Chain A
Amino acid sequence: MSNISILIVEDQAIIAHDLASKVRRLGYDVVGITATGEEAIKLARQHRPSLVLMDIQLDGEMDGIAAAQQIHRECNLPILFLTANSDPNTDERMLLAGSVGRIMKPFDKCDISIQIEKALTKDTTK
């Protein structure tokens, strides 16, 4: 088992569990799964994962970008966004929130593997 740990923040439970299963099969440790930005911040403080996989639309008051900004500011963790669509405004907000990449939905095992590896490499070369 790798010592790389990943936090999954996704409001659709089925997507979150599919993602967790794929991430584990790639040999990474999943330290938590949550549907809200507020809980994500708590879990990030508690576990200090190597990487956060963050959806943009979440349950609760906070969206994924706001949650990512706070996690990045407080814990300096890299964020890999999960997005169904992209537009320039969202892309800019993601960059300001510590984005090291994104996984477009629908994703498959290869997308996840490539993007996680890229994100971890990017972060360690900062």
Chain B
Amino acid sequence: MLKEIHHRVKNNLQVISSLVSMQADNLTDEKTREEFDDVCDRVRSMALIHEKLYQTDDLARLNFADYSTSLLHALWSSHDILADKVRLNLALAPVMLTIETAVPCGLILNELAGNALKHAFPNGGDGEVTVGLEHDAAPNTACLWVRDNGVGLLPGMDWRQSSSLGLRLVQILAGQLHGSVETGTSPGAEFRVTFPLKGLQS
């Protein structure tokens, strides 16, 4: 029954993605069209949670390292022109998350990795994006980080005041996870999101 629900949710998320995509077909402005594509990327990050849960035995927890690998490969594949020049490195420890944590965490990963891919190398230069996931057993927390060797955050910029929807989402969702966000700027940009693991998560 639960398996069927995950299947149907994923199918419904495809319908939402198709509706957004069909709406975008009528747009002539490239920037607006890219914003619609961003919505499709966000929907995909949620749909993939249901796919991974569907494949588990208990249908309750997923290996977020495995999820992250799939999500990032899909993200790189759907932005193939940029992705050809930006190498993706993974340093992911296995961390088991429930759906309540995995959905916001997946959206955060989508935003941070997508931002790095699309904005860290503005002149089409080569670069690297590294995504890591760490588990700290003592306070039972996880840390998801995304680092690039691109142009970095603007000096003096307070990313929390940014008008970028992606960064606002990171802030909002980290709050939902009762987590914290730290940034680093040299070289490139780095975002580290640390959040507590509860219950069955480890």
Contacts and interface: CB of A to CB of B under 8 A. Distances in A.
Contacts of A22: 21
Interface string A9-48: 0001011011101100000000000000000000000000
B43 interface: yes
A84 B46 CA distance: 13
A18 B14 CA distance: 10
B43 A106 contact: yes
Interface residues of A, number: 22
Contacts of A114: 77
Contacts, number: 72
Given A18-B22, A108-B44, A108-B78, A85 B51 contact: yes
B6 A85 contact: yes
Interface in B1-27: 6-7, 10-11, 13-15, 17-19, 21-22, 25
A22 B25 CA distance: 9
A14 B22 contact: yes
A61 interface: no
Given A21-B22, A84-B51, A106-B47, A14 B78 contact: no
B78 A106 contact: no
B19 A105 contact: no
A92 interface: no
Contact of B14 (A12, A21, A87, A110): A12
Contact of A85 (B10, B15, B22, B79): B10
Contacts of B47: 84, 105-106
B121 interface: no
Given A19-B18, A106-B14, 20 more contacts: A12-B11, A14-B18, A15-B14, A17-B22, A57-B11, A84-B7, A84-B11, A85-B7, A86-B55, A87-B54, A87-B55, A104-B51, A105-B11, A106-B13, A106-B40, A106-B44, A108-B21, A108-B44, A109-B21, A110-B77
Of all A-B residue pairs in the complex, the 7 with the closest CB atoms, nearest first, are A18-B18, A105-B14, A106-B17, A84-B10, A106-B14, A85-B54, A110-B78
